[in-house]
Amino acid sequence: MKLNINISEEILDYGILKITLQPIVENSILHGILCKESKVGTIEILGYQIDNDIIIVVKDDGIGMSEDSLSKIIRGEIISQKGNFFGLKNIHERIELHFGIGYGLSFKSNLGIGTAVKIRIVMEKLRVTTDSNSSKAYFKLKNLSTGVLLFQI
């Protein structure tokens, strides 16, 4: 498995809510790449600025999914053998609650080609917090650009 990370320098001093990227990347691995016959694939994480927003895109070349499956995932209705996709719905709702309507996750998938998840958040400076359980705890994008990404699969 290959991981490519390309984060624009202009957003490195900003952050993303914690527990946002990890479930998305895990889903790319578990439900996309590891479902391929070869079990080989690439995940690409892109980060850039549009106006006053930060866009993070997580793309994989996994098995992709149909429009129907994608709609059910967005509504939190799909349960798979490896768990469920409620995490994606929860991430979207948490981002929307924190930043407002128009922010959160959007999806694009092509069956047999792969899936892309776009995260849109407001560009705001990191706030230091000592409460790791706070919904306002941030993961610094600079850490992502240097390859600091931990997963338990």
Quick: pLDDT tens for 95-144: 999 999 999 999 999 999 999 999 999 987 655 454 555 545 666 777 66
For the entire predicted model, the pTM comes to 0.83
**Residue 55's CB: how many other CB atoms inside 10 A?**
17
114 membership: H or E segment, kind and range? strand 114-122
Q: CA 22, CA 1: separation in Å to the nearest integer?
A: 16
Lowest mean pLDDT among 7-11, 30-34, 89-93, 136-140: 136-140
The domain defined by 2-123 folds into Heat Shock Protein 90 (3.30.565)
Q: 113 to each of 17, 38, 66, 75, 109, how far by Cα in Å? A: 29, 14, 11, 22, 8
- Helices 67-74, 86-99: axis angle to 10 degrees equals 60
**Residue 26's CB: how many other CB atoms inside 10 A?**
16
